[in-house]
Amino acid sequence: MITRVRLASPVLVAALTVGWFGVCMGIDFVWNRHLWEATARGAGAPADTPLSLRINHLCCSGCFAEVREALKKVSWLADESIGVRERLLSQEQAEGAVRALDYSGWVDVTVPDLTRVDFVEIDRVLRAEGMVASEMQLRFPKTQHIRFVAQVRHLCCGMCVDAAQRIKEISRAQQLGRLRWLDSVTASHQRKEVVFHARYEESIDVAELLGALDAIGLPAFALRVTFEDAVPAPAGQS
């Protein structure tokens, strides 16, 4: 019969914790070295890059070539700078590379005039090449008030308008922590148009909005951004 149980001392528990942490980090460094290198290089977008796309599969230079080819088909992107944020493996290197936990990567796009951007067109040309952007990060001065204008074919009645105006609730975006930047929505079934007014932010993931429109059954066939005159951000939204 066991009459006395001796527990590990705090020092021993701490030593075991540190030891196993080191072992796990060592294994991860060996088998996922490319992820460590990417972290060391930094994942932040260049300050002068207004649009960044998180491509779900971007494991090598061959993937990036297809993304670049797709985006170059868009007339307003043909002459713009399209670059990959992190160094990629060549196709030859990727043939013999070990498995990765995350194959996604960022592509940064320089667009001087963001009002020319149609986010639906970006999504369409990427999917035509077998690629998809899970995030479309749009950056702009925090002092600018912006809105997104979506053209929607199916917007036939007042109930459709109600669905559009309650997009955060019906798409469950609110519960999922999405569209936090969205301030208000106005819709017109006569113009087949939904306008999304944004709060004063510095970065917005436009892919969240495209996904929410799909979720409520009102997919956009065009989605563009417009900028109002630069004004100081209201109190409480700085």
Show pLDDT as tens, one digit a residue, over the chain (238 residues). Answer: 556 656 667 777 777 787 877 777 767 655 554 444 444 333 565 556 789 999 999 988 999 999 999 998 888 876 678 888 888 888 888 887 767 777 889 999 988 788 889 999 999 999 999 999 999 999 877 667 889 999 999 888 999 999 999 999 998 887 788 899 999 999 998 999 999 999 877 789 999 999 999 999 999 999 999 987 544 444 444 3
Select from 208, 161, 207 the least CA-distant residue to 180. 208
104 in Cβ contact with 57 (< 8 Å): yes
DSSP-derived secondary structure letter, 100: -
Structure tokens at 226: 């417009």
In the chain, which residue ranges form alpha helices assigned H by DSSP? 10-31, 33-41, 61-72, 91-95, 119-128, 158-165, 167-170, 206-215
**Tokens 């494991």 label which residue?**
59
Question: Longest C-alpha distance within the chain, in Å?
Answer: 84
Q: Which residues contact 191 (CB under 8 A, 6 or more apart)?
A: none
In this prediction the pTM is 0.73
Angle at 232 between CA 226 and CA 235, to 5 degrees: 115
118 in Cβ contact with 224 (< 8 Å): yes
Select from 121, 108, 112, 113 the least CA-distant residue to 151. 121
Select from 130, 43, 59, 40 the least CA-distant residue to 97. 59
